């Protein structure tokens, strides 16, 4: 088996650490791991396959001899190093939003549009976490009848805001229990026992940047350039795993039984849908694994060609790190 030199840009962050964990879990053929980070972390070590690996400094020269770079850094870092990565002959699988809507950069969810990988020119983008979870859940239904529109509400865990999100939630809970206060630093308001119906800044007509991602990225991934999406993104006091309520509007009716059968057989999905037995997707059940759980499938009472469903997925794994590693797996298959 051919072995590959794999770099992880942003190796010490939450997603970077998860990428390294998943490379090992999935037995990706890593001949050499090259973890890269800022000067603050360079020289430290991390564990990979039972050995200590030294973290290198992220710089243009660090990509020489690398086959695949998994990006777990912010947009500005991704843009800074992308030219050097491509010049070095590596393929950059980037988790940031820097290149997602670039027409020359494939935007990939392997269960949905794996064939688009072959169109890359050195850079492949990983979609937004909620977009990945949603399109994985609904793609099998799109194959039955094209999706014209979606109305969605996302319920996004605090870890989606980074490692500080869960810390802030816990500190607020502790403070409230002790009768004291904790000044929010990560979120604009207290998140404990609260919901915050804004993620991202305003982008268009009162919709935030996070809310527009489901339409803009979903169109590209699913090859549905006319699909319309109305989305509301809400931060909720859940530690991990995002949940999405979706109403789908099709060209022709799709029955509940058709939908259940399609989702039960869809790659990357697990059907959890029995209301009488109180079986439905929940964040606790989907944490630290890679399937998107789908349930609460029912007719949309406002649209004869509509269905409504509920899905949950781990946004750190399938919504970020695992999807990147799956894309890398597609590359080595090519």
For residue 291, pLDDT over 80 is answered with yes
For residue 220, pLDDT over 80 is answered with yes
Total domains present in the chain:
2
Any residues with CB less than 8 A from the CB of 59 and at least 6 apart, and which? none
pLDDT tens, residue by residue, 136-161: 999 999 999 999 999 999 999 999 99
Together in a domain, 221 and 259: yes
Together in a domain, 75 and 214: no
For the chain, the average pLDDT equals 97
* Residue in the structure block whose two tokens are 């590596």: 90
Together in a domain, 113 and 149: no
**Would you call 242 a catalytic residue per the annotation?**
yes
Together in a domain, 53 and 136: no
pLDDT attached to residue 20: 98
| CATH code: domain of residue 81 | 3.40.50.720
pLDDT attached to residue 97: 96
Task: Residue count of the chain, please give it.
Answer: 334
Percent of the chain clearing pLDDT 90 (strictly above): 99
pLDDT attached to residue 1: 83
* Residue in the structure block whose two tokens are 């050097």: 84
Q: In which domain, by residue range, is 273 found? A: 131-315
279 class by beta-carbon count within 10 Å (0-12 exposed, 13-18 middle, 19+ buried): middle
| CATH code: domain of residue 171 | 3.30.360.10
Comparing C-alpha atoms, which of 223, 225, 228, 160 is closest to residue 191? 160
pLDDT attached to residue 54: 97
- Neighbour tally for 327: CB within 10 Å: 25
Together in a domain, 309 and 261: yes
For residue 63, pLDDT over 80 is answered with yes
**Would you call 120 a catalytic residue per the annotation?**
no
- Of the candidates 129, 231, 311, 312, the residue annotated as catalytic is 129
pLDDT band at 249 (very low <50, low <70, confident <90, very high): very high
Together in a domain, 83 and 138: no
Together in a domain, 43 and 56: yes
Mean pLDDT for the stretch of residues 41-62 = 96
Together in a domain, 120 and 148: no
pLDDT attached to residue 51: 95
* Coil/strand/helix, residue 288: coil
For residue 334, pLDDT over 90 is answered with no
Mean pLDDT for the stretch of residues 32-55 = 96
- Of the candidates 120, 231, 242, 312, the residue annotated as catalytic is 242
Distance CA 142, CA 185 (A): 41
Distance CA 218, CA 279 (A): 28
How wide is the angle at C-alpha 140 spanned by C-alphas 221 and 207, nearest 5°?
A: 45
The reported pTM is 0.96
Distance CA 311, CA 321 (A): 19
Together in a domain, 182 and 292: yes
Together in a domain, 92 and 24: yes
pLDDT attached to residue 77: 97
Together in a domain, 153 and 95: no
Any residues with CB less than 8 A from the CB of 50 and at least 6 apart, and which? none
Together in a domain, 165 and 271: yes
pLDDT band at 272 (very low <50, low <70, confident <90, very high): very high
Mean pLDDT for the stretch of residues 53-61 = 97
């Amino acid at each position: 088996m051919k072995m590959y030199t794999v770099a992880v840009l942003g190796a010490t962050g939450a997603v970077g650490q998860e990428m390294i964990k998943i490379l090992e879990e999935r037995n990706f053929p890593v001949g050499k791991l090259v973890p890269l980070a800022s000067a603050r972390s360079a020289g430290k070590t991390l564990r990979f396959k039972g050995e200590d690996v030294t973290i290198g400094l992220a710089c243009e020269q660090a990509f020489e001899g690398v086959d695949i770079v998994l990006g777990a850094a912010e947009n500005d870092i991704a843009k800074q190093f992308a030219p050097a990565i491509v010049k070095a002959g590596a393929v950059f699988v980037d988790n940031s939003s820097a290149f997602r809507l670039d027409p020359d950069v494939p935007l990939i969810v392997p269960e949905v549009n794996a064939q688009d990988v072959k169109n890359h020119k050195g850079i492949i983008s990983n979609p937004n976490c909620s977009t990945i979870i949603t399109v994985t859940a609904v793609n099998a239904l799109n194959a039955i009848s094209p999706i014209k529109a979606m109305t969605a509400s996302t319920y996004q865990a605090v870890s989606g805001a980074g490692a500080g999100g869960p810390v802030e939630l816990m500190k607020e809970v502790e403070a409230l229990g002790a009768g004291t206060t904790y000044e929010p630093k990560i979120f604009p308001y207290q998140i404990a026992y609260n919901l915050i119906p804004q993620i991202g800044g305003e982008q268009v007509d009162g919709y935030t940047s996070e809310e527009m991602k489901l339409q803009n990225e979903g169109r590209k991934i699913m090859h549905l350039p006319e699909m319309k999406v109305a989305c509301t993104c809400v931060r909720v006091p859940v530690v991990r795993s995002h949940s999405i309520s979706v109403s789908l509007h099709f060209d022709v009716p799709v029955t509940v039984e058709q939908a259940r059968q399609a989702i039960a057989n869809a790659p990357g999905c697990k059907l959890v849908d029995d209301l009488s037995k109180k079986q439905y997707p929940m964040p606790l059940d989907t944490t630290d694994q890679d399937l998107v759980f789908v349930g609460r499938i029912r007719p949309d009472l406002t649209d004869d060609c509509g269905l409504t469903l509920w899905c949950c997925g781990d946004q750190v794994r399938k919504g970020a790190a695992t999807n990147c590693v799956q894309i890398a797996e597609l590359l080595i298959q090519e």
